[in-house]
């Protein structure tokens, strides 16, 4: 099993925030990103995260996660 973590430091925060990305959560996150982009947003508040995240960083993490899942060992 593979568990990806998105780790970042929100603007103005002293500590890093870590958000797990699971294959089960990907469809919901991708839909939320699409909805946010259509609304003109560049940040997205993920469930379980205390700060909104830049959509481009979430998108990059998801693409890396998908590549790791589909790349043979």
Burial of residue 70 (number of CB atoms within 10 Å: 0-12, 13-18, 19+): exposed
Residue appearing with tokens 């700060």:
51
Band of residue 12 on the pLDDT scale cut at 50, 70, 90:
confident
Torsional class of 48: left (φ above 0), alpha (ψ -120 to 50), beta (otherwise) = left
Pairing of strands 17-21, 4-8: antiparallel
**Tens digit of pLDDT for each residue in 16-48?**
888 888 888 889 999 999 999 999 999 998 887
Q: Could you tell me where the DSSP H helices lie in 1-73?
A: 26-38, 55-70
pTM of the predicted structure, to 2 decimals: 0.75
Is 50 a residue whose pLDDT tops 90? no
Beta strand 43-44 with 17-21: parallel, antiparallel or unpaired?
unpaired
């Amino acid at each position: 099993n593979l568990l990806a973590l998105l780790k970042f430091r929100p603007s103005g925060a002293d500590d890093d925030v870590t958000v797990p990305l699971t294959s089960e959560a990907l469809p919901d996150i991708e839909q939320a990103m699409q909805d946010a982009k259509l609304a003109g947003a560049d940040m997205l508040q993920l469930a379980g995260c205390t700060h909104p995240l830049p959509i481009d960083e979430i998108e990059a993490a998801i693409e890396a996660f998908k590549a790791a899942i589909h790349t043979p060992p």
